[in-house]
Amino acid sequence: MKKWVWILIAALVVGGGALYYVTRPEPVVEEPVVEEPVVEEPVVEEPVVEEPALRIGLVTSVGGRGDKSFNDAALRGLELWAAGGDLATVPEFLKGEIESLGVEPRVIESRVVEDFYPNLRILAEEGLDLIVAVGFLQSEAVYKVAKEFPDVKFMIIDGLPTNPEGEVEMLPNTQAYLFRENEGSFLVGALAGLMTETNKVGFVGGMDIFIIHRFEAGYKAGVMTTNPEAAGPEGRGVLVDYTGDFRDPLKGAASAKAIFGKEADIIFAAAG
């Protein structure tokens, strides 16, 4: 009896061990994860290539700086192109509103008509991007220099390129900017006709040339519109005098004094 008990116990032990051996799961051997190193591509910064500044030249008319007219207006525009809103003369409310165009300015002043050609030529030889000529008196000089330097661009204010025959001739490298002087002058004349108390008004012109004639014609038309009595037939009632000069304020003063002496109480001056 005891013998069989021991045999049975031995069988259970052996069988259990065999069962454990059969049913025990094989250990899972995990392969180590090898992470590939992250290779960052080098960031290549493109070099900042600054565009060269536009080089713009300006040749003044005979009035030069300080004429409080065409020359000063053109110079102010060029200064704004170069300095933007940082320009000292820019009104406070415009500071920060005007951006510089990165212009490199070059200015040559002319004292007499004979200065125009050599001054324009100096700038053309420098190969500037644009040359601005102020005033119709430079019409012939602009044509001549533009013809000699076809790769340089020219802009004339208040005039047109004129060939040696006295004919207007636009060249491929020229541009002209003109004004309708008669329209603004019409408004001045209309206001003068309304404001005069003596029914006598006057006009003082500089040089006796076609551009100033347009100022005169517009002024007379304005007076005729609002005060036909002061204007007279075809505007002949308007007192007119020309000084023959754009630079002599004493001549202008003498002309104005003579007109005031004829009982005119309003004078419109157009002298460049």
Choose the weakest-confidence range: 24-28, 65-69, 209-213: 24-28
Q: Which of 177, 194, 209 is the last residue of a domain?
A: 177
Side-chain half-sphere exposure of 74, counting CA atoms within 13 A: 28
Residue 107 pLDDT class (50, 70, 90 cuts): very high
Looking at the fold, whether 165 and 185 belong to one and the same domain comes out as no
**Residue 164, number of CB atoms within 10 A of its CB:** 10
Residue 26 pLDDT class (50, 70, 90 cuts): low
Cα of first residue to Cα of last residue in the chain, in angstroms, is 146
Q: Are the C-beta atoms of 222 and 186 separated by less than 8 Å?
A: yes
Per the structure, the complete domain to which residue 125 belongs is given by 54-177
Task: For the chain, give the DSSP string.
Answer: -HHHHHHHHHHHHHHHHHHHHHHSPPPP-PPPP-PPPP-PPP--PPP--PPPPEEEEEE--TT-TT-SSHHHHHHHHHHHHHHGGG-TTS-GGGTTTS----EEEEEE--SSGGGHHHHHHHHHHTT-SEEEEESGGGHHHHHHHHHH-TTS-EEEES---B-TTS-B---TTEEEE---HHHHHHHHHHHHHHH-SSS-EEEEESSSSHHHHHHHHHHHHHHHHH-HHHH-GGGTTSEEEE-S-SS-HHHHHHHHHHHHTTT--EEEEE--
Looking at the fold, whether 202 and 159 belong to one and the same domain comes out as no
Looking at the fold, whether 164 and 203 belong to one and the same domain comes out as no
Q: Which of 161, 177, 193 is the last residue of a domain?
A: 177
Q: Which of 177, 210, 236 is the last residue of a domain?
A: 177
Average pLDDT estimate for 243-249: 86
Looking at the fold, whether 186 and 146 belong to one and the same domain comes out as no
Digit-coded pLDDT (tens) for 130-186: 999 999 999 999 999 999 999 999 999 999 999 999 999 999 999 999 989 999 999
Retrieve residue 170's tokens: 């636009």
Average pLDDT estimate for 229-252: 91
